[in-house]
Structure 1
Amino acid sequence: MRTANRSDIGRIRLVNEDRAWVGQLENGITVAIVADGMGGHQAGDVASQLAVDTFRESLRDYKDPLDPEQAKTLIRQAILQANEIVYEMASQNDRYHNMGTTVVAAMLFEGSGIIGHIGDSRAYRLHDGRLRLLTEDHTLVNELAKSGQISAEEAANHPRRNVLTRALGTDRHVEVDVKGFAWTPGDMLLLCSDGLYSMVGEDEMLAALLDAEPNLDGKAERLIELALHAGGDDNVTVLLIDHAAGDEEEVIG
């Protein structure tokens, strides 16, 4: 599998509170995570970095083979451990009070994948020329749209569209959404913060991913450029994984 990981501070923010990482376990499973931090006094970047580091460390020594159900348990446990660590730091340090982060993570096998997420960072799967959203935003506006109180168009432009109903690190206990999906040769996985999809429509994202000219790094850079060109109102992070033969990822060590 080939991977590309790009992040940009955007045109408005003073600090990049997004963090991302992709690597490979010793058992050959590819693992990736994107976190979008929140909190004043630069606490957001602390929360997102801590979540990524904890997630990574919790998987460091795992070498045994995994079936999909075991993978679901493992990714949930890794995210919950990150929640515990971020929550404890926020509780013990006034500077970090109420800090938190979104998180979307993936574990990829040869024929299947697992997504775990909290918040509004997203995962998309490109398959047979179509881009499909794999996650469901944990936001107030999404809840209103699901209940029929507002339309999809109203949701896209709602002034409170960034209000989260669930985040990592803000509460001692949190629910992690975990789901499996098919992962076949030729597929591509996109993990991203809301700085991408809030500025770039899915049609534009699809066109950038399907463009045969740039390599995977070029596709990631193109997506960042589209978000910046549209205004760059937020930090923007793009992590791409291509189900094709290529360079080996970093092995967790």
Structure 2
Amino acid sequence: MKLICAGITDVGCSREHNEDDFYLSDGEEALCIVADGMGGHRSGEVASAMAIKAIVEYYRETMPQVVNGYQGESVGEGDEERDLDELRIHEALQMANRAVFQAAESDEAYEGMGTTIVSAYFTEGGVYLAHIGDSRGYLYREGSLEQVTHDHSLANEYVRMGILAKEDVEFFPYKNVITRACGLTDEVEIDVNFHTMQPGDMFVFCSDGLSDMVPDRELVQLLDDTEDLEVLCQRLVDRANENGGSDNITIILARVVEDEN
């Protein structure tokens, strides 16, 4: 199997500048990252760019076979056992968290800055997803769309606790309040999960500028619309802006196809 990817970022209709950022690997590492910065003019865009830079540098400076002195297929024992690729993506996001936090601590101009992150590392066996905040990952398979990340948001916590109905989230006045972000503390809890993949699968990674503006039913219709990923990225941005464009919009599409070689 091989991967075909495209990405785009757009300021939206309401913001004066873009605090989002994204990364698509142009090397051997099949790495996709979306970051949605926060903290106001300059500091939000600094946080998202800095976090991505830290993740990419970590991947470039480490080898898949050797991480933190461990070699082999897994490390740890029992419930603590971790696949090396899982350990690697987890440590990459911790490095990003520390980089943003230390920059905010050392420069008053960046005080309080942070970013959400959703990062994907593709291997032969599947994809490892790691995220902090409410930037999302979706899996689109055979006409069905599934969110494969869990929003770290107040609204999602209220839904989990039964305080808020899922269908009422879009009307919840604090739906954009997040409960975790990269760079706000010296350590952060990171969710990591693994998904197998098959030819025809498409993964969607996005900031909330897309997910807040384009409901899942519209997203499915658009994902069925064309095979050209760059065209599809632009259509998704256009739809988000048509629906209000209240935030910056960033999208990565990654399609799994048969390797003909």
TM-score norm. by structure 1 comes to 0.92
- Specify which of 62, 78, 83 is matched with residue 69 of structure 1: 83
SS of residue paired to 1:137: coil
Displacement of 1:153 in angstroms is 2.3
Q: Secondary structure at the match of 2:189?
A: coil
* Paired position in structure 2 for 1:232: 245
Match of 1:14 among 16, 19, 29: 16
Matched AA of 2:23: W
- Aligned residue pairs total 243
* Aligned counterparts of 2:43 and 2:173: Cα–Cα separation in 1: 24
Mapping for residues 181-196 of structure 1, pairs under 5 Å: 181-196=195-210
Q: Is 1:146 equivalent to 2:148 in the alignment?
A: no
**Residue 2 (structure 1) shift:** 0.8
Instruction: Give the distance between the partners of 2:199 and 2:41, measured in 1 at CA.
Output: 44
Match of 2:93 in 1: 79
SS in 1 for 2:90: helix
- C-alpha distance in 1, partners of 2:10/2:258? 27
Shift of 1:122: 0.0
- Within 5 Å, which residues of 2 pair with 1:7-46? 7-23=9-25, 26=28, 29-46=29-46
Deviation at 1:62, TM superposition (A): 3.5
Q: Which secondary structure does the structure 1 equivalent of 2:25 belong to?
A: strand
Deviation of the 1:22 alpha carbon: 1.1
Q: Could you say what secondary structure the match of 1:185 adopts?
A: coil
Instruction: Tell whether the 8 Å contact from 1:110 to 1:183 is kept in structure 2 after alignment.
Output: no
Partner of 1:242: 255
State the identity as a percent. Answer: 37
1:58 aligns with 2:58: yes
Question: Would the alpha carbon gap of residues 228 and 81 (structure 1) be closer, same or farther in structure 2, given more than 3 Å must change?
Answer: same
Report the 3-state secondary structure (helix = DSSP H, G, I; strand = E; otherwise coil) of the residue aligned with 2:257.
Answer: coil
**TM-score computed with the length of structure 2 as normaliser:** 0.89
Secondary structure of the equivalent of 2:36? strand
Hey, what does 2:184 align to over in structure 1?
A: 170
CA–CA separation in structure 2 for the residues paired with 1:7 and 1:24: 17
Distance 1:198 1:159 in 2: 13
- Alpha-carbon RMSD: 1.6
1:245, CA displacement in angstroms?
A: 5.5
Contact 2:199/2:258, CA 8 A, preserved across alignment: no
- Equivalent residue, structure 1, for 2:124: 110
CA distance in 2, matches of 1:63, 1:150: 44
What is the distance in 1 between the residues matched to 2:156 and 2:204? 21
Shift of 1:129: 1.3
Question: Following TM superposition, by how much is the alpha carbon of 1:139 offset from its aligned partner in structure 2, in angstroms?
Answer: 0.6
Residue 249 of structure 1: aligned partner? none
17-26 or 46-55: which moved more? 17-26
Q: Where does structure 2 lack aligned partners over 5 or more consecutive residues?
A: 66-71, 74-81
Kept in 2, the 8 Å contact 1:8–1:237? The answer is yes
Q: Secondary structure at the match of 2:174?
A: coil
Indicate if the aligned counterparts of 2:154 and 2:175 stay in contact, CA closer than 8 A: yes
Please say if residues 141 and 163 of structure 1, whose CA atoms lie closer than 8 Å, have aligned partners that are also in contact. Answer: yes
Segments of 5+ residues of structure 1 without an aligned counterpart are 247-253
